[in-house]
Every structure is written in structure tokens, then in C-alpha cells.
Structure 1
Amino acid sequence: MNVPHEERGKLSERVYDRLRQKIDGGEWPQGTRIPTESELAASFNVSRPVVREALVQLRTEGAIDSRRGSGSIVISAREIPKRSYEPIENVADLISAFEFRLTIECDAAASAALRAKPQDLAEIVAAHERFSSELSDEEFGDCDLAFHVAIAKATGNKLFEATLSMLHHQILFGMRLTGEFSLRGGGTRAQTVYREHAAVVEAIRGRDAQGAFEAMRDHLLQSRHRILGFDVPSDWRRAAPIGTSLAVPL
């Protein structure tokens, strides 16, 4: 079934709402093994990608977790207010989403390089290393989002983490489109992202804020190009993270 991207996002929100109700209402208490993607898709009469997005949102919120061999398990029945940005409906929205991510995530990477504790770095590295193995579509989305959220958490600023979590639909939307375009230079999508993430990890590990800023910016620019197939001219940019340099004209 070929469902338009914007309609898939709306369906995913509905599935998410139903699943969230089951968790918060006590029907699925902590420790419950929830049905598989296929079972949920059949139950809600939607496709597996629609269910997958709803599950990613629940994982991002900390309501469920994936356990190898056991599927998804409820780990928190605490109600978390649902917040998200408007879904992407056209190319202009997608460009705007990347513009926003470039302002948020580059600074988050720089801050993480300066503030990350050993356990934060371990979480970032663990999320990164998962890209070195074969990944299903579901695992790819989970890993990519987990990597970016781990960096946001490492800043020690909860607003970075909250913002990245709120952007989960916009990030997943880009992942879906990336899969529809052939990658330049060969290699799988996971291998390409692994190489780009590696530069971010090394800069954070080396406490190189400027390097982390630039590596994240390069990764997001490359991601945007893979999705759109063209570069988007910028009228200005900052040469360094906030607090270290003023913006400079291009």
C-alpha cells in the first residue's frame, strides 16, 4: 500500500495515541511485552512502517524498550505529555526542518564535546557502533535517532534532549526519503551514516568543540543533499558554536 508521507505521519500519530493510552491507562503495565509490528499493523489496519514510527516515538519517550528476542517491553507507565512539531507536508517544510536542526544539533555536538561525562560518551559510542552491523529499517531508524538524542543528552541541557525528541517525526521522515534515493560513492545507507557519525564521535571524544560542530554540520548537510538531491543556498552561517564566535556572512 503506497501511502503518502504526510498521511503516514497522521496515521502514526493515531496509532501512537492508542498505544500511549494502553500504557498510561494501566492496560499494559510495566514489564508487558507488547504485540509485534505485524500484529499491531493488523490490529490497527495500517502498514508496518506506520506502526514502526509510533513505536520509535514511545522508545524516544522512554515508555518502551526493545529487548533482543523479546520484542518491545513497557518500561515506564508514567504519563508523558505529548508534544511534537507540525508534520512535514512539502519540500519547503523539509528544508525548514533541516535549517532548524542545523542551528540546534551543531551547537549540541559542540556542547557535548565540552561537557560529556564518561557514561555519556559510552552511550554515544554504543549508538554509533550499532551502525557497523546489518540493520533492518526499524533498527536503522532507532539507531539514528538514538545517536542524535545521546549527543543531546550529553550536553547536560535537558532542552536539547527534549527538542530532539520532539523532532522525531521530522527526522524519521528524512530517513524514509533517504531510502528512496541512491547513495553516491557506493556503500549502504548505514555505512554512509556510520562514516559521517564517526567524525562527530571522534571530535566529541577528543573534546574538540569546533570539530564536533563542523562534523555535525557536514553530516546534516550531506543528509539533506541525499534527500533533496541538491544543495540549498544559505544566506548566512555561524563559523563556530554559540558563545565562541559571531556569525559571519557567506
Structure 2
Amino acid sequence: MRMQAPEMSQSLSSVVYQKILISIISGEYPANEKLPSEAKLCEQYSVSRPVLREALTRLKEDNLIVSRRGSGSFVIKRPDDAVLSFSKISSISDIQRCFEFRTSLEGNAAGLAATRRTAEQLGRIVAAAEKINEANKLHALASDEDFEFHLAIAEAANNKYYTTVMKSLRENIKEGMNITRTLSLRSSNNRMDLVQDEHDTILKYIIDGDAQKAEAAMKAHLNNARIRMFEGTDS
């Protein structure tokens, strides 16, 4: 059997991920119901089992499905269909993987910022956090303010490569922020308050100079943000 090149396998798995995601959002694969068998899904999407399993792994990482030994995969959450209003389905996989990448990148930057930041840099981080708070009071989207908060932390790591990568990913990062912050604003609960509490926790540990806790708080925030992208507005 001819082996697929890694880049081709990656591309196919993203396509399958997107197609299954659409089926979950549309209700074709309802929450709390079992997905078709791997054999049927492979036949339906004309892909190999390794390609399918990579797509299913991504869906598990996004907290949308769960595998039960001997029973198959089950849908555990139906994302709000508003997600599709804010982003092309073809880019959702990329946005999720961007969150994944940022978790490591910005977690390390926050840890370094806690011990390396100057008084001036700390002032910029605090000012950015305050701007987000003010925007939240006005129920504004505040994705620009949110990005500046994260960028200020990266700059405070005093390693130009963190800042360079953050700036190069600006559009990808902001697209993810636009989705998660819009859904949070539309939510019937206090989800935006939870987001701000996470920001405040990161800021506290940077002020305290606690690198380990600052890194952990940033990683937790970005992982939560990735998961919140697929939370319903009424949850």
C-alpha cells in the first residue's frame, strides 16, 4: 500500500476534522450519541484509518467527543452554530491549533516575564489589563486590547523571538479572540468575568515574580480559551 506524505495526511485529517465538526454543529451527529464506526467514517470520507484517527484525536482535544473502550466515539458537546458566523469552517482547525501553539509559547513567555520584566514593562501590562476591564464594562469586543495584553507580556520576557512570533501571528490570534470574546459577550452567564479573572491571575503572578505560577496561569487561560470556542452561548 502506497504511504501518504506527512503533509498530505495532515491536510486530509484537517478536512475530515472540519467535516465531522460541521456534522456535530448541524446536529447530524447529536450530542450524547455515538459517531458512526471508524470503518463507516473512513468509507464516508474516503480516507485511511490513520487520517481519520488524527481527525478524531483533534476533536477529543477540543473536548467535542470522547472514546469509550469497546463502544466507539461519542459526541459530548454541540458547539454553538454562531461559531460558523464568525469564521470560515476551513480556518477553525487552524484557530484551534493556534491556541494549542500559543499555550506553550505564551506560557513560557509569562514565566520569563515574571522574573525579567522591568517596571516600565509591568506598567504596560497593567495598563493593557485595565483597558480590557474598561471595555468589558461597556460590553465591547476588546480583541485589540486583549491582544495588547498578551503582547505586552511577551515583550516583558525580554526575548525578541517571543515578540516576533506574536506579531507574526497577530491576525490568527485576533481571529480566535474575536470568536471567543463574541461568544462570551453573548453568553447568558458570567463567562466574560471568568476570562477577566484568568487575566487578573496571570497579572498577579507576574507582579509577584512567581515564574512557575505565571506560566501555569497563562497555559490554563489559553487552554480554557480554546475550549470556550466550542461552548454554547447559554452554557
Query: TM-score of the superposition, structure 1-length normalised?
Result: 0.52
Contact kept? 1:178, 1:226, Cα under 8 Å: yes
How far off is 1:144 after superposition?
0.4
Shift of 1:95: 2.2
Aligned-pair Cα RMSD in Å? 2.6
Deviation of residue 209 (structure 1)? 0.4
1:223 aligns with 2:225: yes
Equivalent residues of 2:201, 2:217 under 8 A apart: yes
Compared CA separation, residues 185 and 154, structure 1 to 2 (3 A): farther
Change beyond 3 A, Cα 1:150–1:176:
same
Q: 1:187 to 1:229 in 2, by over 3 A?
A: closer
| 1:187 pairs with one of 190, 194, 218 | 190
Q: C-alpha distance in 2, partners of 1:188/1:99?
A: 21
Q: Percent identity?
A: 34
Residue 169 of structure 1: how far off its partner (Å):
1.0
Match of 2:90 in 1: 89
Structure 1 runs of 4+ with >6 Å offset: 136-139
SS, match of residue 186 in structure 1: coil
Which position in structure 2 is the counterpart of 1:142?
Answer: 144
Instruction: Determine the structure 2 residue equivalent to 1:112.
Output: 113
Change (3 A) 1:116 1:229: same
TM score, norm. by length of structure 2: 0.55
| Residue number among 158, 163, 166 corresponding to 2:165 in the alignment | 163
Aligned to 1:197: 199
CA spacing shift, 1:126–1:89, aligned 2, 3 Å: same
- Aligned partner of residue 90 in structure 2, secondary structure: coil
**Larger helix percent:** 2
Query: Are the equivalent residues in 1 in contact too, given 2:141–2:182 (CA < 8 A)?
Result: no
Question: In structure 1, what residue type is equivalent to 2:190?
Answer: G
- For residues 203-229 of structure 1, the C-alpha deviation after alignment (integer angstroms, 9 at most, x for no partner) is 011110000011001110111111123
Structure 2 CA distance for partners of 1:185 and 1:116, relative to 1, 3 Å = farther
Show structure 2 runs of 5+ residues with no match. 1-87
Higher RCO, Cα 8 Å, sep 6+ = 2
Number of aligned pairs? 143
Q: AA paired with 1:147?
A: F
Give the whole-Å Cα distance in 2 for the aligned partners of 1:125 and 1:106: 18
- Unaligned 5+ residue runs, structure 1? 1-86, 231-250
Contact 2:184 2:191 in 1 (8 A): no
Aligned partners of 1:88 and 1:94 also within 8 Å: no
